[in-house]
Structure 1
């Protein structure tokens, strides 16, 4: 080969290698965004979505907590993490979902009563009926079914008001906690000791309207904390996820003085 053709041949080989590598590397799907613009008071952020998902091979569920097999059903972060967790977000967030199964991201389980051991408490443990039923015979002359006086309802954790019977859940919990403080202190982890649990994902319909038991849509029923304390706002969620991953890998911006590496000036 003449020397004058060597640069051309070398360039051809390099271009061929680049072309093959580009073909073999995973390519972004057309229905998956390449970049996502995240508006923010501190300056908008252009998130390189394809770079993370395809080049870095980060699985969807790493960021999208309940990522189903079908990528078209992956939820937008804003569906769960509102700018402000206020009444408007509570009212409208359901419309943001395109798949009922996503409800199970936050609404994990529904609880049902199970045989908690009435006979065992009475006969084996020797607990007198009045320890659980009213000791004041003017209220309850003879121990009877609690549901005869107490209406069903979700636990509120509020103290009973004089002259108004608490709902059944509050009444039962008030009695049980006197002996089982450890179970109540465990919050959600302690519920399974007395209640059977059904995963919401297994009972939600695949199509149509979402049907969640209103008794368990309130996070505080099991967790003891309201939703705004459990579900971080959009900014906090992004910061915790993005900065936490970068800090773990010791790559990219994650320090508090490196804001300008993600946030662009307006």
Structure 2
């Protein structure tokens, strides 16, 4: 090799080493912890939205869980925060019910399955002795159905979730439906409170307070939304657009500033 090419050769080798090192070095170095995004582009048929994440995250009193309501803590690690689209925007149908069990991580269960109900001592003796309730006020007055007062579970299926539907003629309702139908005759005030009245007769267990290893274990009795809610899952789990509008516009309306009225779309949506 002629000496006049030696400097060029050395320069090429040095540049090659630097180039290869630039690719390899990041792979060998410890990965930095994920950080919150600065701005997020939200594609939309009505015009994309550029959401300034840092500005909103820095507002007084704002925590991650304000918007990411699935978070178990107010300020979770960025890597553990799910994007809105991971839950919203899905079609709530049979396929969703089947797939979501494996689609989401275990800690996500408590976002929707937030409570479970357990038995509570409602006071059989107190009703019979102190309140003067006759046995047949709760048990069947028709002796053709029940000659003597029996344990309700002898005839009514125990362990099934309430259906909130009247039983078919000739078929005993399950135990939950039977008890609810009997109790409401005296306790209309509690039933009028709907889900808020459940704690009067049930132990209410907040799933968010359960140990981490138990959070993914949802009781099949309360896996269906309508056990506690009158609206089905398709009404409770908002679509992506409705979720964003409710969250963003609701917050702006509460603050009394920023876009929240129907005619202010262009303040968030860019032109097509």
Q: What is the rounded CA distance, in whole Å, between the counterparts of 1:79 and 1:151 in structure 2?
A: 38
Matched residues, number: 236
Q: In the alignment, what sits opposite 1:124? A: 130
How far apart are 1:54 and its partner, in Å? Answer: 4.1
Structure number with larger C-alpha Rg: 2
- In the alignment, structure 2 segments of 5+ residues that lack a partner are 1-32
Q: Among 241, 246, 262, which residue is 1:240 paired with?
A: 246
The 1:56/1:192 distance shift into structure 2, 3 A limit, reads: closer
Deviates more, 1:33-42 or 1:48-57: 48-57
Q: Among 263, 266, 269, which residue is 1:260 paired with?
A: 266
Q: Among 202, 221, 224, which residue is 2:209 paired with?
A: 202
Q: Among 166, 189, 195, which residue is 1:188 paired with?
A: 195
Q: Does 1:166 align with 2:173?
A: yes
- In the alignment, structure 1 segments of 5+ residues that lack a partner are 1-28
Q: Does 1:137 align with 2:143?
A: yes
The 5-angstrom pairing of residues 41-80 of structure 1 reads 41-54=45-58, 58-67=62-71, 68=73, 69-71=75-77, 72-80=79-87
Deviates more, 1:142-151 or 1:226-235: 226-235
How far apart are 1:260 and its partner, in Å? Answer: 2.0
Measured on the aligned residues, the alpha-carbon RMSD in Å equals 2.4
Q: What is the rounded CA distance, in whole Å, between the counterparts of 1:190 and 1:118 in structure 2?
A: 19
The 1:172/1:248 distance shift into structure 2, 3 A limit, reads: closer
Tell whether the 8 Å contact from 1:39 to 1:45 is kept in structure 2 after alignment: yes
Provide, for residues 1-45 of structure 1, a one-character-per-residue CA deviation record: whole Å limited to 9, x for no partner: xxxxxxxxxxxxxxxxxxxxxxxxxxxx74322232323332332
How far apart are 1:122 and its partner, in Å? Answer: 0.9
Q: What is the rounded CA distance, in whole Å, between the counterparts of 1:128 and 1:56 in structure 2?
A: 59
Provide, for residues 161-193 of structure 1, a one-character-per-residue CA deviation record: whole Å limited to 9, x for no partner: 012111110011010011111111111110000
The 1:200/1:156 distance shift into structure 2, 3 A limit, reads: same
How far apart are 1:115 and its partner, in Å? Answer: 1.1
